[in-house]
A = this chain, B = another copy of it.
Amino acid sequence: MARVKKKERQEMLLAQVREKPFLTDEELAKNLEVSVQTIRLDRLELGIPELRGRIRNMAEKAQNKVKSIQSGEVVGELIDLELGRSGISLLRITEDMVFAKTQIAKGHYMFSQADSLAIAIIDAPMAVTGVANVKYKVPVHVGEKLIAKAEVVKVRGNKFFVWVKTHNETQEVFRAKFIVVSWGDKLGGKTS
C-alpha cells in the first residue's frame, strides 16, 4: 500500500476500528503501514479510545442488555449484543485452559464460550441449551484471542436456532449450531 495522506489515513483508521474494534495499535499500524506512534496520535485527534477502553465501552452496553441469564455467566467477555438477534464475545486462552501434554486448548472452553453466548442473545427471561452440533477446525493455543459471533438464524415457537462462529486473529477455529429453548414469556410453550 502506498503512503497516504493524513486525512485519508484517518478515515481508513476509523473504518478499520469500526469494522474490527479488537485490533491493537500494533495491528492497526501494520495494516496502515505507519508507526504505532502515528496511530496513537491519530486516535487522540479522532477521539478513539485505546483497545482496552473500546472493549470496556462495548462490554458495558452489551452486558446491560442480557435477559436470559446473568451477564457474568457468559464465558469470556460479552462485548456486543443485539438482543434476539446476535452477539459477540471475546475469550483469551490462558495457560490453565490447555491440555498439559499437547498445549492445545481444551475443547470445552470453545464450547462454553459459544454455548453461553448462544443463550445470552435470547430475548426471553430464561433459556437453556437443547441441542448442539460443533466442529473444531483448528487447534487453539495459549495467548490466542477468540472472537465468537452468534446469530439467531431461525425461530420456531420457543426454540431458537443459533449459529456461532469463532475466529482467532487469522482464521475460523470453531463453529457450532445450537437449539436453545426459552420460556417464561408469551412465546414459551406455544409450539411443540
Contacts and interface: CB of A to CB of B under 8 A. Distances in A.
Interface of A: 68-70, 73, 75, 99-102, 104, 106-108, 111-112, 115-116, 125-126, 128-136, 139
B128 A139 contact: yes
B129 A132 contact: no
A133 B177 CA distance: 9
B126 A136 contact: no
Given A73-B99, A73-B100, A99-B70, A111 B126 contact: no
A45 to B, nearest CB: 44
A106 B116 contact: yes
Given A69-B101, A99-B128, A112-B112, 18 more contacts: A69-B100, A69-B102, A70-B101, A73-B99, A73-B100, A101-B125, A101-B126, A102-B126, A106-B112, A107-B115, A108-B108, A108-B112, A108-B116, A111-B111, A130-B135, A131-B133, A131-B136, A132-B134
B99 A69 contact: yes
